[in-house]
Amino acid sequence: MAIFAVTYAYSDATSVDRDQHRPSHVEFLKSQLDDGRLVKSGPFGPGEAPGALLIIKGDSKADVEALMDEDPFFRHDLIEARSIRQWNIFFGADDASRN
């Protein structure tokens, strides 16, 4: 499986709705972690534009896109912009991620 960097950008205007859907978003991400698809994830820090970075394992970019389309934040139009890019880890990678 390849590794993909997924970035989310949020609008301040969706803050209340994100709070409402956050439990289902977190449950979705937890299920991906449990399934071995989610490697790391988290929001950007204070002082940064609202958003998040997720590191996802997938067979292809289309595979990861289809998976991330299931995120409740995406389904409820709470993501202002999303990018999905294959990430070829060179330093700090274990042998399994280099395949």
- 20-36 pLDDT, tens digit per residue, is 999 999 999 999 999 99
CATH topology of domain 2-89: Alpha-Beta Plaits (3.30.70)
The token pair at 54 is 């997720």
* Whole-number pLDDT of residue 92: 84
User: For the chain, what's the residue count?
Assistant: 99
Instruction: Please tell me the number of Cα atoms within 13 Å of 26 on its side-chain side.
Output: 7
Q: Note the pTM of the prediction, 2 decimals.
A: 0.89
Q: Is the pLDDT of residue 65 over 50?
A: yes
Give the span between the Cα atoms of 27 and 71, in whole angstroms: 9
